[in-house]
Structure 1
Amino acid sequence: MGATGADIESRIERARILPVVVIEQAADAVPLAKALLAGGLGVAEITFRTAAASEALSRIRDEVPNMLLGAGTVLTQSHLLAAREAGAQFIVTPGFNPAIVEASQSAGLPIVPGINNPTGVEQAMALGLKTVKFFPSEPSGGVPFIKALSGPYPEIRFVPTGGIGPGNLANYLALRAVIACGGSWMVDTKLVRDGRFDEITRLTAEAVALAGSAR
């Protein structure tokens, strides 16, 4: 990440948790963002898994400006353009696509691309990146695998995502190479769909407390 990216990375690292959000209805975006803030998390990754993603990003950017806002599941150039126009401040991808990484860098958007092996780490390093998403974390070997990768690549930092929840969050955050963990348990799609934003705030506060105890 560059200069702006360093600040964004610092904010994600302070949060320790990166909520991975799927929004089906754009009208839920602002209440969801406010619920996260009320629970103590000022960052969110809005995924491009639904048609509402761009509008959700725009609404949060306009109405909850204190939220650090990322766009996730960015798979195409059109996703990247839509995320940029909607006000996303950083990009997250599930895999490593050099074309998307380079386009994001050219657009001035910090990017955290997904990898789950040494080759992916070295591809990221070749493009000047020092922070990557480790995905899918649990199926790919989880904590032991990240420890193994940290041996030959001590300068690389990870945002593990996939299969992480309250039961194993602390194990990941105990690793020096991990800056934050991506997760969706506090923003479960059904909770958002049902408008249970108070429950999202409660779960978020619990997650923040758990992350804090793992420092």
Structure 2
Amino acid sequence: MGINLQKGQKIDLTKGNPGLTKIMVGLGWDEVSKPKAGGFLGGLLGGGGGAAIDCDASAILLDAQDKLTSKDRLVYFGNLQSGDKSVKHSGDNLTGAGDGDDEQIQVDLSSVPSAIQKIVFVVNIYDCVKRKQDFGLIANAFIRVVNPVNGQEFCRYNLTESYAGKTSLVVAEVYRHNNEWKFAAIGQGTNDTSLSELIRRYQ
């Protein structure tokens, strides 16, 4: 059984797990039940635009100055692996339907270039402005870290606070510390309305 983390908590990944070189980062979410037409929430949010909510998970590979220095260090549905192939995305899930992980990102820690000090995992809502959607329409969001060799879950962070009005989430990060890798639960909501807007924070 993995460790359940709270916002702001950190955990060692490689220290205490000798030989660990690869991790799978799974992200999941559910769409809340759609309100009836004319209901308070429906009126407030324009009925969610009527479309299913398409959440997109991405990984941003940063240098020691927390900067994204090249476009091949952004891994998302439009670029499924980093230029060095150390980070790979499972592909886009358009609805978030079903149990378990909605999107998965594989990280080969042993292949991450030394210039990369941090990998930030974010989720944004595709076309959120046009569809009038925000994270108030999402429930049961989580991120977890798994050993892909044996399926052992190291840790899980359930994003339990309200993110109503927010259109992007900086969910968590995996980072180097004293030649080891650690995981930090972030859970920061933002009003960035697209991935391109979100990554400006790191440029």
The structure that is helix-richer by fraction is 1
Whether these two folds match at TM > 0.5 is no
Normalising by structure 2, what TM-score? 0.28
The structure that is strand-richer by fraction is 2
In our comparison, the structure showing a higher alpha carbon Rg is 2
